[in-house]
């Protein structure tokens, strides 16, 4: 007998941004694992060669049960988003679940020393990318009967709830997405369009490599003697939220590793 998870995901088309690494990559595999008989995945990122690898791995593991369409896409470019949606093959047009995952942080400078390019790039990806992609996909959801149907899942962060020193730009970008998410959820009331956010604390991905601009010693230091969340841990929660019965909205989830209780309340060794 199928689980409610596989039953609810069966036949769905899932679009993931930033699927080439970290949480996005894990989310692709977790969806495939959870509905391996009948699923369509649209995986997007700038590093398309990594998406090719993921597509191969999924094909090896699940055969034709999971169909994968990969697209090179920079979400910070609104024209690319519009073109991406226009060019979706017929088979993948009926997006059911959008996972707005692409995002990053670069540097820990404080105003007035934050490089202008960082301000622009972080907002272009983390804020405008999310808003533009959501606007591009919502018409597909809204075209469904009774006001519409579909899931928007944001990768939020503890950073939106508990902004920290050195994080003015990143934290405010995530706070903008949190407000967008809450307002959109209210606007979609009366439809079957669910708007959800999964907000992790520390997850071990390439995130800190970008944050520390490639300084591996700082990355290692940030995780020393601790067991952070893995991208798979977060992916499980995303897929859980997406696979609830349609009357259930997992609106807001805060996820910490066991050593963390706020953005900065971090136990030294665990």
Ligand X SMILES: NC(=O)c1ccc[n+]([C@@H]2O[C@H](COP(=O)([O-])OP(=O)(O)OC[C@H]3O[C@@H](n4cnc5c(N)ncnc54)[C@H](OP(=O)(O)O)[C@@H]3O)[C@@H](O)[C@H]2O)c1
| Distance in Å, CB of 11 to ligand X, minimum | 26
Question: What distance in Å separates the CA atoms of residue 183 and residue 151, rounded to the nearest whole number?
Answer: 15
Q: What is the sign of the dihedral through the CA atoms of 159, 161, 167 and 168?
A: positive
Q: Which is nearer to ligand X, 76 or 243 (CB)?
A: 76
Establish if 18 lies at the interface with ligand X (CB under 6 A): yes
Nearest to 240 by CA among 257, 232, 108: 232
Residue 264 · residue 162 · CB < 8 Å: yes
Q: Which is nearer to ligand X, 1 or 224 (CB)?
A: 224
Nearest to 236 by CA among 248, 260, 258, 253: 253
Establish if 74 lies at the interface with ligand X (CB under 6 A): yes
Segment lying near ligand X (by CB under 6 A), choices 44-52, 62-70, 216-224, 261-269? 44-52
Question: What distance in Å separates the CA atoms of residue 188 and residue 180, rounded to the nearest whole number?
Answer: 12
**Member of 8, 13, 20, 34 binding ligand X (CB under 6 A):** 20
Interactions with ligand X, residue window 135-164 (CB under 6 A): 155, 157
Interactions with ligand X, residue window 174-203 (CB under 6 A): 200, 202-203
List 40, 55, 174, 211, catalytic entry = 174
| Phi, psi values for residue 81, rounded to 5° | -65, -45
Report how many residues bind ligand X under the rule CB under 6 A: 29
Question: What distance in Å separates the CA atoms of residue 116 and residue 173, rounded to the nearest whole number?
Answer: 14
Q: Which is nearer to ligand X, 162 or 206 (CB)?
A: 206
| Distance in Å, CB of 116 to ligand X, minimum | 17
Count of Cβ atoms closer than 10 Å to residue 180 Cβ: 18
| Distance in Å, CB of 265 to ligand X, minimum | 15
Question: What distance in Å separates the CA atoms of residue 246 and residue 67, rounded to the nearest whole number?
Answer: 23
| Distance in Å, CB of 93 to ligand X, minimum | 21
**Member of 8, 125, 172, 260 binding ligand X (CB under 6 A):** 125
Whether 174 sits among the annotated catalytic residues: the reply is yes
List 12, 55, 62, 170, catalytic entry = 170
Interactions with ligand X, residue window 77-116 (CB under 6 A): 101-104
Interactions with ligand X, residue window 207-236 (CB under 6 A): 207, 210, 231
Establish if 45 lies at the interface with ligand X (CB under 6 A): yes
Establish if 22 lies at the interface with ligand X (CB under 6 A): yes
Q: Which is nearer to ligand X, 8 or 195 (CB)?
A: 195
Task: Enumerate the active-site residues.
Answer: 170, 174
Contacting positions for ligand X (CB under 6 A) = 17-18, 20-24, 45-47, 73-76, 101-104, 125, 155, 157, 200, 202-203, 205-207, 210, 231
């Amino acid at each position: 007998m199928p689980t409610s998870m596989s039953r609810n995901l069966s036949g769905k088309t899932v679009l993931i941004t930033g699927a080439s690494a970290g949480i996005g990559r894990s989310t692709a595999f977790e969806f495939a694992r959870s509905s391996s008989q009948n699923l369509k995945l649209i995986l997007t990122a700038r590093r398309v060669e990594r998406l090719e690898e993921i597509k191969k791995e999924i094909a090896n593991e699940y055969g034709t049960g999971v169909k994968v369409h990969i697209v090179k896409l920079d979400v910070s470019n609104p024209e690319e988003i519009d073109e991406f949606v226009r060019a979706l093959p017929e088979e993948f047009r009926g997006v059911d679940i959008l996972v707005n995952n692409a995002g990053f942080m670069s540097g820990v400078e404080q105003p007035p020393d934050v490089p202008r390019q960082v301000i622009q790039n972080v907002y272009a990806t983390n804020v405008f990318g999310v808003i533009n992609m959501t606007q591009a996909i919502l018409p597909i959801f809204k075209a469904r009967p009774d006001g519409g149907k579909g899931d928007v899942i944001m990768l939020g962060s503890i950073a939106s709830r508990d902004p920290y020193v050195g994080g003015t730009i990143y934290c405010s970008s995530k706070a903008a997405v949190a407000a967008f998410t809450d307002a959109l959820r209210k606007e979609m009331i009366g439809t079957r369009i669910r708007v959800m956010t999964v907000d992790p604390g520390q997850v071990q991905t390439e995130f800190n490599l970008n944050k520390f601009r490639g300084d591996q010693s700082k990355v290692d230091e940030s995780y020393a003697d601790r067991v952070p969340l893995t991208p798979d841990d977060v992916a499980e929660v995303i897929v859980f939220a997406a696979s609830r019965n349609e009357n259930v909205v997992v609106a807001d989830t805060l996820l910490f590793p066991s050593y963390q209780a706020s953005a900065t309340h971090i136990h030294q060794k665990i």
